[in-house]
Structure 1
């Protein structure tokens, strides 16, 4: 009974989350599932210079949501394409999350 009440409360609270916060939660979850394996805390375990820190994003002309979304969608070199695994909205959400975290220096 307690579990059912808790689930109802959680579902009711989800209806009151602002759209911006909902996008952030979604981007966070997508990043955790699909990206963090190689990009934990904005790093890159495959190619150090291709990390997700703002300095590297600017250097590689990846410092916009559009640029990040493009590479998530189509991939490049060692970066896999996610167009067949994520929806366009999910790609936009994770791109926004990456840029936001880069602006915060992944803190």
Structure 2
């Protein structure tokens, strides 16, 4: 029964696609400038749109990962410490993109369902939200 409900939630969530949200170049420049000032490395190759990533996450990931949790494997949450421990490659956007694209264990691969841009955006959202702390 539990798996039937989860399968239904996943099936219904994948029917939705998030609209593309464009971040103005001035905002991107301000973020990059702030990161340099703060001494934080920003990788433009993986810098996705966090707002668009939240929409993709809510439509495709929240069925299993609402509030950064994990309904299948409770110890493998999207909390900062768990991502550092369990995510192959550590807690970074590239590692999240690999996990989302290819799947692993009970997590399905979204590489055929989501665009590379959507995956980059959701990775940015997951990393940013794990840093700030998930709301439950």
TM-score range, shorter chain: 0.7 to 0.9
- Number of residue equivalences: 93
> Is 2:50 the counterpart of 1:24?
yes
The 2-side partners of 1:48 and 1:97 are apart by: 20
Runs of 5+ unmatched residues, structure 2:
1-20, 29-47
Identify the structure with the greater helix proportion: 1
Structure 1 position 46 matched with structure 2 position 52: no
Larger Rg: 1
Structure 1: state its 5+ residue gaps. Answer: 1-13
Can you list the C-alpha shifts for 1:11-55, whole angstroms capped at 9, x where unaligned?
A: xxx77x5355x9222101000000000000100011011110001
Alpha-carbon shift at residue 58 of structure 1 (Å): 0.6
What's the Cα RMSD here? 2.1
Q: How many angstroms apart in 1 are the aligned matches of 2:123 and 2:111?
A: 13
Q: Provide the TM-score with structure 2 as the length reference.
A: 0.63
Runs of 4+ in 1 over 3 A off after TM superposition: none
